[in-house]
Amino acid sequence: MIIAAVGTAFPPHYYDQERLLEAFRAHWARRHYNLERLEALHRNVLVGGRHLALPLEEYEGLGSFGEANDAWIRVGQEVGEEAVRRALDGAGLAPADVSALMFVTVTGVATPSIDARLVNRMGLASNVKRLPLFGLGCVAGAAGLARAADYVRAFPGDVMVLLSVELCSLTLQREDLSIPNLIASGLFGDGAAAAVVVGSDRSAAGPRVVATRSAFYRDTERAMGWDISERGFKVVLSAEVPELTRRHLRSDVDGFLAEHGLVRSQISRWIAHPGGPKVLQAVEEALELAPEALEISWRSLREAGNLSSTSVLLVLAEVLERRPPALGSYGLVLAMGPGFCSELVLLRW
């Protein structure tokens, strides 16, 4: 099970955090909100700018969940196709070579799903196996890699493409003045990423998936997720997420590595989902990492924000393209998300 390539794609509309903050100030000032508090929350997430699915001025015209979701379907197909094509090009494969397509998201809904629409747009084989998954949230990038590895273990001659599309800006509740929503308005961005995972009967450059581990933390359902209503997706984001990370991640990682005769010091690349400053700090503390260990995750957060399931694949793409370790080295992909839960994927170059 080899990760042959990762492709990424973003909508063309990029705004720095100052421009976005200016727009939020103008909107929420109508309701006499504490604008100093808004500014502090946006600065604390340490995001420098984000891609948005739509031009900034078009968001005010989205009058319903249905209109926002229609935009998600349209833009999702565009960035999804671009990410898949880039990943296939990187792996030296064509759309017709794809045996299975897994699609993960938590920011929109569609039936037929985005993966089905891409079969038509891209000319995928009519017998391609499709697996659309909704609801895993931020953990879905790592979990998708794990499930893709499971698939090609069973079908070693196959090519699985994992596609993540997250257009978080289209979920924003503009009338919600809760602290979680205000944090989300400054933290989350839009984009897509696709990973090509091939079985052992195929030759490919890239790291091998050695093993995976899922961990579910009981009775933590309100730590993170959505409350869904006629208005769409309202964010649930508890302040206990960093503490849950500190409480569980070290023992999960150490136990997982020990099963393969490894310890943390043998991991050359930490490919961590950039969930936010407090989450990344909690990961650093829990795993006793050097400041530079999560440098790519911190930079991804700063340059693009948190893209839910897409973000860990952005970090992986950066490692594959610009920071691959020496042959024989190990890496660990890790992410946490709604449930509350975590997913670990052990790689070897």
Active-site amino acid positions:
138
CB-CB contact of 283 with 294 (8 Å) = yes
Provide the β-strand partners of residue 211: 346
DSSP letters spanning 273-299: ----HHHHHHHHHHHT--GGGGHHHHH
Alpha helices in 129-211 (DSSP H): 140-154, 179-187
How many Cβ atoms sit within 10 Å of the Cβ of residue 17? 18
SS3 201: coil
Q: Which two tokens stand for residue 89?
A: 């090009």
Residue 160, H or E segment? strand 159-167
Query: Alpha carbon 175 to chain centroid distance?
Result: 26
User: Distance between CA 200 and CA 188 in Å, rounded?
Assistant: 36
Q: Which two tokens stand for residue 297?
A: 């995750």
